[in-house]
Structure 1
Amino acid sequence: MNTTLMPPVAPLSRKLAGALQEKIDQKTKPPGSLGRLEQIALQAGLIQQTLQPEVRHPAIIVFAGDHGIAAEGLVNPYPQAVTAQMVYNFLNGGAAINVFCKQQQLALKIVDAGVNHIFGPHPLLTDHKIAMGTHNYLHGPAMSLDQCKLAMKAGATAVLALHQEGCNLIGFGEMGIGNTSSATLLMSCFTGRPLEDCIGSGTGCNTQQLIQKTGILQQALAHHPPMQDPLQILATYGGFEIAMICGAIQQAAALRMLVVIDGFIVTTALLAAAHMQPAVTDYCVFAHCSSEKGHQALLQHMEVQPLLMLDMRLGEGTGAAMAMPVIQNAIAFMQHMASFSSAHISNRQH
């Protein structure tokens, strides 16, 4: 049940499914021969409720935030200052996500969700800072319920701004030292899987660091009582950037946008969103399966298939950026490929 004042997300109507499938099957190819591209074309048509789906102004938003647990240097090999340093790298065009967005001609926006640093004005940067990082969930909730709701609404606002510019295909990325720990805790809480099945090396923990990280996250789970309310779970263990992505996904789905889900951390944000509004997954394409431990199990739990298997685990929305051209090609064949009748080619005999 949606208790967060997010816009309501309706399940996809399938009234056009038959006509869309007929159009796909009449293209000059054997039925099913374009594989997953045909599924994406059908999904896009259902989302946009048209036999002529299109891509307009595709974009990626990267949300950045710091985590209280990271300030103690307990769960991550990199210092917390790297979050702000990487935001500057995004703004200067030097990160992988910048390269991929430029190559694919995708708009890129960076959102300060709660970085422990004050940035000056920049045309790529939107300031939605909730606080200078979350609290340490070893001692209390990472954020209050009000902060969590504010973060979700800020994520929705960022999506709405792009939608008003014409965007209908959107992906999300994140940056935040310590956020794989948050994602691990969220996955364990939402799926009921043991922590050991969810935890991975994040930004590159060695074996000893991973043992320490596991122990600390077990302490965090033991410190808080079991919870059922998805908003409370998100507020207890999440990050401001994860909460913003959770709200952004719900807003994008409510606006009938095609939503591209990146890797492990973005998928846990979707998991929270799906516990609030189950229909959001109807609007999602899963970009890739991260090599971060837990992501494959998470995708299996959600009963979804990723488009790509590239052994990536960088984050930043890089997997979403790599998947965008695949999605664009799926919609392009639907728009422009000839049919048997228009090309005067004999269809198969029945």
Structure 2
Amino acid sequence: MSHFDADVSPLDDFRALARAPRPDHSDALAATRAREAALTKPAGSLGRLEKLAEWLTAVTGKAPPTVDHPRVVVFAASHGVAEEGVSAYPSSVNAQMLASFRDGKAAINQICAAYGIGLSAFDLAVDIPSGNIAVEDAFASERAAAATMAFGLEAIANGVDCLALGEMGIGNTTVAAALYAALIGGTAADWCGAGTGVSGEAMARKIAAVDKALARVAGEEDPLVLLTRIGGREIAAMVGAILAARSQKVPVVIDGFVSTAAAAVAYKIAPQAIDHCLFAHRSAEAAHGRALEAMGVSPLLDLGMRLGEGTGAALAIGILRAAAACHSGMSTFAEAGVDGPV
């Protein structure tokens, strides 16, 4: 029996969103493929850009595909597990970085400005840490977890047609490592990496904290119950955003190690729950590649990044917009009066 079993769970609506059938966009996809085959270039010469255009159509039903109103949404939260000494930085950094996002001074602000991408930062009660997962559940109840997931639905407001997910939260690579181990398997040591730059005794404390969290939830398999017990607010909000975007046919670009943990929760409910997600990059966090492989997905970039904030996802949006622009803006052989292949 699940730790939080009840006749009706407040998490059931999210389970239904994850398992809902995908809309049939086969006609639009056929149109995109037909246009791709007629564009003034050798077949396949734009490589993965061509597949990205097809993916956009498959998710949105638009042929030709467009990315006109992309937005990076950064969720900021605090974690009780930080008191275990698992990070190189104090939790006070959470509120300070949230202010930096809003003042336009963080790395993600610069990347969004360079690519013309909207940016929103949400404060998920950074002054109130979630439960210390080494000794207690992150959320007091399924209802509290569901409320935070529901907050994530705000990410697709105001006409967003491509959503990139970012996060900020001291201690959240520890939480993500615990979730990966519980969802995918393996030991704490398999999933714990440098995070903010820890090593030595701090790394030992990080592994010990994850070991304690895993011992507390041993035997639990429900992804959303695991999220409730050993997750965090920013991860819960990102799970909600992923599932809401799927229901609204909005493509989602996933950032790094922590954002991918949210995708892993959705994937473990139903693999098709992330078929509208593009994984932006392979993080320098060593275990990120293992998580991507477990879900059978290929990242777009590999730049040695591990900052979070949605930085890798914002870079990927630039490529995604280029893929859509090439597909829709290029002439076909017939339109350009160019001789086609013989």
Please state which band the TM-score falls in when normalised by the shorter chain: over 0.9
Give the one of 109, 134, 140 matched to 2:120. Answer: 109
> CA separation in 2, counterparts of 1:13 and 1:74?
49
CA contact 1:114–1:241 (8 Å) conserved in 2: no
CA contact 1:67–1:178 (8 Å) conserved in 2: yes
1:40 deviates by 0.6
1:37 deviates by 0.5
Partner SS, residue 334 of structure 2: coil
Aligned residue in 2 for 1:63:
75
1:216 deviates by 2.2
Q: How does 1:133-148 map to 2 (within 5 A)?
A: 133-143=129-139, 144-148=141-145
Go from structure 1 to structure 2 and tell me whether the alpha carbon gap of 1:21 and 1:325 turns closer, same or farther (over 3 Å shift): same
CA contact 1:152–1:248 (8 Å) conserved in 2: yes
Aligned residue in 2 for 1:75:
86
Aligned residue in 1 for 2:4:
none
Go from structure 1 to structure 2 and tell me whether the alpha carbon gap of 1:3 and 1:81 turns closer, same or farther (over 3 Å shift): closer
> CA separation in 2, counterparts of 1:4 and 1:188?
23
Is 1:5 equivalent to 2:2 in the alignment?
no
Partner SS, residue 234 of structure 2: helix
> CA separation in 2, counterparts of 1:212 and 1:307?
33
Residue 145 of structure 1 aligns with an amino acid whose one-letter code is E
> CA separation in 1, counterparts of 2:62 and 2:274?
19
| CA distances 1:58-116 after superposition (whole Å, capped 9, x unpaired) | 1011000000111x242112111111111111111110011111111111111111301
Aligned residue in 2 for 1:149:
146
| CA distances 1:25-64 after superposition (whole Å, capped 9, x unpaired) | 1111111111111111001111221322111211011000
1:264 deviates by 0.6
1:239 deviates by 0.7
CA contact 1:63–1:241 (8 Å) conserved in 2: yes
1:208 deviates by 2.7
Q: How does 1:13-24 map to 2 (within 5 A)?
A: 13=24, 15-16=26-27, 17-24=29-36
Is 1:51 equivalent to 2:63 in the alignment?
yes
CA contact 2:77–2:126 (8 Å) conserved in 1: yes
Go from structure 1 to structure 2 and tell me whether the alpha carbon gap of 1:113 and 1:277 turns closer, same or farther (over 3 Å shift): farther
Go from structure 1 to structure 2 and tell me whether the alpha carbon gap of 1:10 and 1:228 turns closer, same or farther (over 3 Å shift): same
> CA separation in 2, counterparts of 1:298 and 1:18?
32
> CA separation in 1, counterparts of 2:39 and 2:183?
42
Give the one of 155, 176, 179 matched to 1:159. Answer: 155
Residue 53 of structure 2 aligns with an amino acid whose one-letter code is A
Is 1:98 equivalent to 2:109 in the alignment?
yes
> CA separation in 1, counterparts of 2:336 and 2:269?
47
Residue 40 of structure 1 aligns with an amino acid whose one-letter code is L
Q: How does 1:1-350 map to 2 (within 5 A)?
A: 3-6=11-14, 8=17, 9-11=20-22, 13=24, 15-16=26-27, 17-70=29-82, 72-116=83-127, 132-143=128-139, 144-156=141-153, 158-161=154-157, 165-349=158-342
1:15 deviates by 1.5
Count of matched residue pairs: 329
Unpaired segments of 5 or more residues in structure 1?
117-131
Q: Which moved more, 1:145-154 or 1:271-280?
A: 271-280
> CA separation in 2, counterparts of 1:43 and 1:204?
36
Go from structure 1 to structure 2 and tell me whether the alpha carbon gap of 1:74 and 1:226 turns closer, same or farther (over 3 Å shift): farther
Residue 221 of structure 2 aligns with an amino acid whose one-letter code is Q
Residue 100 of structure 1 aligns with an amino acid whose one-letter code is I
Instruction: Give the superposed CA RMSD.
Output: 1.7
> CA separation in 2, counterparts of 1:216 and 1:69?
7
> CA separation in 1, counterparts of 2:276 and 2:203?
35
Moved over 6 A (4+): none
> CA separation in 2, counterparts of 1:289 and 1:325?
17
Go from structure 1 to structure 2 and tell me whether the alpha carbon gap of 1:311 and 1:12 turns closer, same or farther (over 3 Å shift): farther
> CA separation in 1, counterparts of 2:103 and 2:63?
41
Identical columns (%): 37
> CA separation in 2, counterparts of 1:168 and 1:33?
27
CA contact 1:63–1:175 (8 Å) conserved in 2: yes
Provide the TM-score with structure 1 as the length reference: 0.90
> CA separation in 2, counterparts of 1:91 and 1:73?
29
CA contact 1:138–1:219 (8 Å) conserved in 2: yes
Quick check: which one's helix share is greater?
Answer: 2
Residue 75 of structure 1 aligns with an amino acid whose one-letter code is V
Go from structure 1 to structure 2 and tell me whether the alpha carbon gap of 1:145 and 1:3 turns closer, same or farther (over 3 Å shift): closer
Residue 110 of structure 1 aligns with an amino acid whose one-letter code is A
Q: Which moved more, 1:45-54 or 1:86-95?
A: 45-54
Partner SS, residue 51 of structure 1: coil
